Amino acid sequence: MREDLLKRHLELVIEANKTTNITRISTWDEGMLLHVQDSLVGLPELREAPEGRMVDIGSGAGYPGIPLAIESGRSTLLADSVGKKTAILASMVQTLGLDNVDVYTGRIEDLAREEPASFAAVTARALAQLSILMEFASPLLQEGGRLICYKANVSDEEMEHALSLQNRLAMKLVSDRIVELGKNHRRIICFEKTGTPHVKLPRKTGFAQKRPL
């Protein structure tokens, strides 16, 4: 049943992609490897997060959020600022009959203002550099909650900068591993919310990218 839902979701993504550009992957085999299997790479980290809601930020075509929601059964919010994408996501969720999944249209900072410290896990795939993801996730997460970052290539500089902000953002590195996916590889970097950040979060909308810490 779960496998059928994963395949049906990919079918819907490929279909939607014919009229709206929601992914650069257009073939079934590529989609199964680089979307579905890739999304499920972070499942062990999600299982280590406390019980509670998960939010997938910058969800796009619903990866990794929808596969993780299907496999884990967690209450999940798919968040994206592009209305065209969230309309497609909402339609997919309805078609798949996923009662544990909701969709949010808006900026991540606005979600953090509306639902502070409401999530046990935040996932983000190929969205931004680690320090920005830490800043986005910190006000969304409850204490002990996990940020699960799906990354490809992380420079030493990006990693060092992220580690230098751990105390300021109350986000501590807890795990870092690499998984081979065909000819590609996926790096899963996970941070835990440790308490109250030393900077008022969220900052003004857009500041995380325009004026990174």
Binding residues for S-adenosyl-L-methionine: 58, 63, 108-109, 125
Exposure of 142 by Cβ count < 10 A (0-12 exposed, 13-18 middle, 19+ buried)? middle
Contacts of 160 (CB under 8 A, 6+ apart): none
Helix 83-96 with 2-17: angle, nearest 10 deg: 140
Question: Strand pairing partners for 69?
Answer: none
CB 65 within 8 A of CB 123: yes
CB 139 within 8 A of CB 112: yes
HSE (CB half, 13 Å, CA atoms) of 192? 11
In DSSP notation, 162-208 reads: HHHTHHHHTEEEEEEEEEEETTEEEEEEEEEE-S--SS-SS-STTHH
d(CA 98, CA 109): 26
Q: What are the b/e assignments for 67-89, b being 16+ CB within 10 Å?
A: bbbbbbebbbbbbbbeeebbebb
Which residues are known binding-site members? 58, 63, 108-109, 125
